[in-house]
Copies of this chain bind each other. A is one copy, B any other.
Amino acid sequence: MQFFMLVNTQQYRTIWPTETIATEPKTISIIDQTKLPHAFEIRQIGSLAQMITAIKTMQVRGAPLIGAAAAYGIALAMLEDDSDASLHLAVNALKSSRPTAVNLQWAVSRMLACLQSRPNEARHLTAWHEAANIAEEDVAQNKAIAQHGLVLIEKLYQNRKNQNRPLNILTHCNAGWLATVDFGTALAPIYAAHNAGLDVHVWVDETRPRNQGAALTAWELGSHGVPHTVITDNAGGHLMQQGLVDMVIVGADRVTSTGDVCNKIGTYLKALAAFDNHVPFYAAVPSPTIDWTIKDGLIEIEIEQRHGDEVAYLQGLALDGSVQNVRLIPIESAVANPAFDVTPARLVTGIITEQGVFAPHALKRLEIIA
């Protein structure tokens, strides 16, 4: 499968060690996702502190990508100071930078396990190597997700009632290339279907407050030539009632061992509507997104509360071509901004993983495989 991230005819991933003349990189390059779709900017991340800022401000976001970013953050920390104290400081700081996505916890724990028994002077090279492994594994997992998801799409495509119209797939937030190192999770099967010549059309939820759907998913799909239509987060239920949605695919920030899906705020509402209208609802996740330690997502997952200004202000392209922040609500009004919600397993048709598609209650079988 080709790499998808063509930007101005150049291939990109979301994160990569910056090339240097010496053999060892000194910085990590990232695409600054807070600037899209209005500007395509690459940032150099040269320290652990800069990486934590990039994660917190969502210059890098998406559960798989922040896993890889955190791993590279550890490598940058080891380059600065390869002591045990530095390692544990980096581990703790990264783990608390965003509480909900489990990949971040998973990647940091894996880096710690790999590094703590190594001699100090070997740590920085080992860290670069292990972070690159995590990134490559993400790419491989997403390729496998694309293939497993494609089988589902092909089946729905062949069985759709009206063969003269496209298969309509609704997605929420961004779980595409930009949310991963490459390929994406929820969007990977859609790209595979489009590449295979299937007539697919994507309903792109805007995804307030940060508009990752309108900004990132629409930009990705447009760059790849996949037909899509942006809608408000309010519209999906109505479209399902009208028979205009054949399938929902979302990513996830954490999936419980019982199949509860924690994803961007608003996912639960779409799952309810899908269930009410007999539309299959899938989450596409690489296995590091599954948290085998918890059973009840509603009780056990800490939901990140982000700043109200993400709701009160919105960034867009002004008439003069500048990117501006505008305020939407009266200055006196309070604002709340829970970033994620939990969709109970009873509303989920299946979990698409690199090992295959599992019914939520059968997810435990994956624990043995993965």
Contact = CB atoms under 8 A, between A and B. Distances in A.
Interface string A261-278: 000111011101100100
A324 B229 CA distance: 24
A27 interface: no
B312 A313 contact: no
Interface in A241-295: 241, 264-266, 268-270, 272-273, 276
Interface residues of A, number: 65
Main SS of the interface on chain A?
mixed
Contact of A218 (B230, B273, B333, B337): B333
A327 interface: yes
B273 A269 contact: yes
The complex is assembled from copies of this chain, and their number is 2
Given A316-B326, A319-B325, A311 B237 contact: no
A37 interface: yes
Interface stretch (A85-93, A98-106, A200-208, A355-363): A200-208
Interface core residue of A229, A230, A273, A340 (most chain B CB under 10 Å)? A230
Nearest to A216: B330
Contacts of A334: 227-230
A334 B328 CA distance: 24
Nearest to A265: B234
Given A314-B316, A324-B326, A328-B314, A268 B336 contact: no
A238 B338 contact: yes
Interface in A344-365: none
B204 A206 contact: no
B234 A269 contact: yes
A126 interface: no
B237 A269 contact: yes
Nearest to A334: B229
A232 B265 contact: yes
Contacts of A338: 235, 238-239
A315 B208 CA distance: 15
A219 B2 CA distance: 51
A327 B336 contact: no
Given A238-B303, A314-B316, A266 B233 contact: yes
Given A206-B328, A241-B298, A327-B316, A276 B266 contact: no
A240 B340 CA distance: 13
Contacts of A336: 203, 229-231, 235
Given A303-B238, A332-B222, A342-B241, A276 B272 contact: yes
Contacts of A28: none
A328 B341 contact: no
A228 B332 CA distance: 10
12 contacts: A215-B328, A218-B330, A222-B330, A222-B333, A229-B335, A230-B311, A230-B333, A231-B336, A232-B233, A233-B266, A238-B268, A318-B325
Closest 3 CB pairs of A and B: A316-B326, A234-B266, A238-B341
